Amino acid sequence: MHLIMKKLAFILLAALLTSGCANEKITLMSFNIRNSSAWAEDGENCWNNRREAVAAMILKETPDAVGMQEVLPDQLAYLDSALGGSYRRIGVGRDDGDTLGENMCIYYNYNRLLLVGWKSYWLSETPDSVSFGWDAACRRTVTVGIFEDIHSGHHFTYMNTHLDHVGKVARRNSVLQLCRMADEADGPVVIGGDMNSGISDSIFIPLRRNGLLSARDIAPITDTSYTFNGYGKCAPSRIDHFFVRGMDVNEFHTLDGSYGVPYISDHYPVKTILKFRRNRER
């Protein structure tokens, strides 16, 4: 009987340790969903033909938070309804600071994450005002969410952004701006989004110098898949990234599997699994 009790105690302890490790992991996703206004250009890949698959993908993958790019008001309305049972949203329209234009929103699982605070900024010389930055073709924003993990009590900052597709100066200066914002944050920082640049681009050097490393490059479980697919009609590329500081990166995945339609967007979502550090070091 004594031996049986010892074995049961060992099994219980192992289960508790495994559960504790699982509770210290956070899954984040970044996904450019392709704006719904491009229906004429997208044809069979238009938003109305993809939207159910997009929601199904998120509910299947169950990220603790997902930062999205190019999200227009009608897409927000659909996703609010489709994901509302599990997720809440932060973010503003980039063209008026309210509802107009694309939204760099973050949906977060409110059963796992407590929203401590958030704000959207413009990637420009006047980040607190609706504005264009440098040589950018579009207004660009970053949504900054500060979250507390309900299970472990750890805090982290998740910054979701979309760098300009035309302005080279804008992309470079936007990265510098993101570095400054990361340095003002307390605790771990994750920057994710559509960066419109491959990881070898020199614009990312300041991130690395500030300890913000590419999740794809440092994860022990990772891939080399393309993230931009262009619906199979143009050259693919790897332009969607996560940069992480103050957390361990366990996995990075490009979600290029089947979710019920040929393409859920002209980008594939990327997902990273991160682990909090027990001493809460930066």
Residue 281 resides in a domain = no
- The whole-number pLDDT of residue 223 equals 98
DSSP 80-125: HHHHTTTEEEE--BTTTSSSSS-B--EEEETTTEEEEEEEEEESSS
- The whole-number pLDDT of residue 77 equals 98
Residue 282 resides in a domain = no
* pLDDT tens string 132-152: 999 999 999 999 999 999 999
Residue 153 resides in a domain = yes
Q: What is the mean pLDDT of residues 250-274?
A: 97
Token pair belonging to 212: 């913000």
Q: Say how far apart CA 94 and CA 101 lie, in whole Å.
A: 5
Domain housing 25:
2-275
Q: Look at the chain and report how many structural domains it folds into.
A: 1
Picking from 185, 178, 167, the residue whose alpha carbon sits closest to that of residue 204 is 178
Kindly tell me if the per-residue pLDDT of 20 is higher than 90.
no
Query: Average per-residue pLDDT in the chain?
Result: 93
Q: Are 48 and 39 in contact (CB under 8 A)?
A: yes
Kindly tell me if the per-residue pLDDT of 1 is higher than 70.
no
- The whole-number pLDDT of residue 2 equals 52
Residue 78 resides in a domain = yes
Q: Say how far apart CA 91 and CA 67 lie, in whole Å.
A: 10
Residue 280 resides in a domain = no
- The whole-number pLDDT of residue 242 equals 98
* CATH number for 43: 3.60.10.10
- The whole-number pLDDT of residue 278 equals 80
Highest mean pLDDT among 5-9, 20-24, 196-200: 196-200
| pLDDT confidence tier of residue 174, bands split at 50, 70 and 90 | very high
Kindly tell me if the per-residue pLDDT of 96 is higher than 50.
yes
Task: Give Cα separations from 224 to 51, 107, 175, 196, 248 (angstroms).
Answer: 26, 26, 23, 17, 20
- The whole-number pLDDT of residue 264 equals 98
- The whole-number pLDDT of residue 173 equals 98
Q: What is the mean pLDDT of residues 258-279?
A: 95
* pLDDT tens string 184-232: 999 999 999 999 999 999 999 999 999 999 999 999 999 999 999 999 9
- The whole-number pLDDT of residue 36 equals 97
Residue 161 resides in a domain = yes
Residue 116 resides in a domain = yes
Kindly tell me if the per-residue pLDDT of 17 is higher than 90.
no
